[in-house]
Amino acid sequence: MMKRPEQEETFTDIRDGIRRLCAQFPGSYWQQLDAERRYPTEFVAALAREGWLSILIPEQYGGSGLGLCAAIAALEEVHRSGCNGGAAHAQMYTMGTLLRHGSEEQKARYLPRIASGELRLQAFGVTEPASGTDTTRIRTFARREGGDYVVNGQKIWISRAEHSDLMVLLVRTTPREECAKPSEGLSVLLVDMRDAVGHGLVIRPIRTMLNHATTELFFDDLRVPVENLIGEEGEGFRYILSGMNAERILIASECIGDARFFIDRASAYAKDRSVFGRPIGQNQGVQFPIARAHVQTTAAAAIVEKAAALFDAGAQSGTEANMAKMLASEASWYAADMCLQTHGGFGFAEEYDIERKFRETRLYQVAPISTNLILSHVATHVLGLPKSF
């Protein structure tokens, strides 16, 4: 288990440890997974075994008891090393819903087993086909019946559902039209996937351009014990907001790692690749895009760190989390395009492992929240402009 760094630690130990682990999973490993559309079971097991997935779980439950600032250092290095945290990062932010709002009994029952790697908490069931990004319009409904909630509905774009033991599920427990506010009447259930599949839950894989084990879920009278309700009934929207902020900050850190991966690769290639008797990196037309990518990434990283520090301090971090995700995703996408352009035709060859990362980092212009929604948030919540809908 990873030990708590000293207060003056700048997470050098965390970064070094992640680099050592990722060295065991080179580009060829990820290329093979891509070809087979296979989940990186070995990589996730290694992360769990060395304690990286329990970085936010308090020491009393078997974790490291560190904050989001430590977690973003870990995920940044995962991506800078050429690996991908998408198969495991959900455990960090979904766990926060249980940690912050679960009962003592729930935390004692689940957190130690999550920290040890015995249980995977990787699935986060929120998005639905008809609601899109308007979470208050979800239709999946949980009806109280004796000692159970009976769940009916559908979720989509749910990653890792086939590879998770537990899922944090957002449902309606009061019809929207009966609530004073659209955000009321939502509740969070902790679903044991091992019991649910085949007993009211059907998981259907969705094939996408990315190997992220994406699925849609169908609930047909799935019974979930009332004891699996997290917090109070009807307060679920508030509970998941903090988890969404953590999600955006953590994914922003992955984008920073991606950007630095592309900058590292482009710089090395520009030094080594010679055309017309000199390295291509001697040409300003090649130099300047690499330098610009570095500048943009450095600036975005500062906002990511600020957002994580606010989150760890318990301060309002929603705006900073959104801005961090937007700036980091744009920096990584610029760096990806630059890196592919620097490599020319070789960038499209799988053996260089640029095209895989190029595809992976493009996702974050869209998910888990699109750039347009972030701009809408800043416009209306920060600048006081009128809502456009």
Question: Domains of the chain, with CATH numbers?
Answer: 12-116 (1.10.540.10), 121-233 (2.40.110.10), 238-382 (1.20.140.10)
> Looking at residues 105-128, what average pLDDT do you find?
94
Q: How many CB atoms lie within 10 A of CB 334?
A: 18
Q: Give the rounded percent of residues in the chain with a pLDDT score beyond 90.
A: 90
| Whether pLDDT at 326 is above 70 | yes
| Whether pLDDT at 388 is above 90 | no
Looking at residue 356, what is its pLDDT?
A: 96
Task: Report which secondary-structure segment, H or E, holds 155.
Answer: strand 148-159
Looking at residue 210, what is its pLDDT?
A: 86
Q: Is 166 left (phi over 0), alpha (psi -120 to 50) or beta?
A: beta
**In the structure encoding, which two tokens stand for residue 197, read together?**
């599949």
Looking at residue 35, what is its pLDDT?
A: 92
CA R_g for the chain: 21
Cα 248 from chain centre: 7
> Looking at residues 90-111, what average pLDDT do you find?
92
> Looking at residues 142-155, what average pLDDT do you find?
98
Q: Give the three-class secondary structure for 258.
A: helix
Place 389 in a pLDDT band, splitting at 50, 70 and 90.
Answer: low
- C-alpha to C-alpha distances, 369 to 132, 305, 351, 373, nearest whole angstrom: 10, 19, 31, 7
Spatial neighbors of 69 by CB under 8 A, at least 6 apart, are: 11, 305, 308, 309, 312
Tens of pLDDT, residues 36-59: 999 999 999 999 999 999 999 999
Q: Say what the pTM is.
A: 0.94
| Whether pLDDT at 7 is above 60 | no
Place 5 in a pLDDT band, splitting at 50, 70 and 90.
Answer: very low
Closest Cα partner for 322 from 380, 362, 361? 380
Q: How many CB atoms lie within 10 A of CB 60?
A: 11
Q: Give the three-class secondary structure for 139.
A: coil
| Whether pLDDT at 8 is above 60 | no
Closest Cα partner for 144 from 173, 121, 170? 173
Q: Give the three-class secondary structure for 89.
A: coil
| Whether pLDDT at 9 is above 60 | no
| Whether pLDDT at 139 is above 70 | yes
Got the DSSP string for 24-81?
Answer: TS-HHHHHHHHHHT---HHHHHHHHHTTGGGTTS-GGGTS----HHHHHHHHHHHHHT
Average pLDDT of the chain, as a whole number = 94
Spatial neighbors of 9 by CB under 8 A, at least 6 apart, are: none
Looking at residue 225, what is its pLDDT?
A: 98
Looking at residue 6, what is its pLDDT?
A: 42
**Bridge-based pairing state of the strands 186-192 and 214-225:** unpaired
Q: Give the rounded percent of residues in the chain with a pLDDT score beyond 70.
A: 97
Looking at residue 96, what is its pLDDT?
A: 87
Closest Cα partner for 116 from 53, 170, 71, 72? 53
Q: Report how far residue 28's alpha carbon sits from residue 24's, in angstroms, rounded to the nearest whole number.
A: 11
Place 241 in a pLDDT band, splitting at 50, 70 and 90.
Answer: confident
Tens of pLDDT, residues 155-211: 999 999 999 999 999 999 999 999 999 999 999 999 999 999 999 999 999 999 888
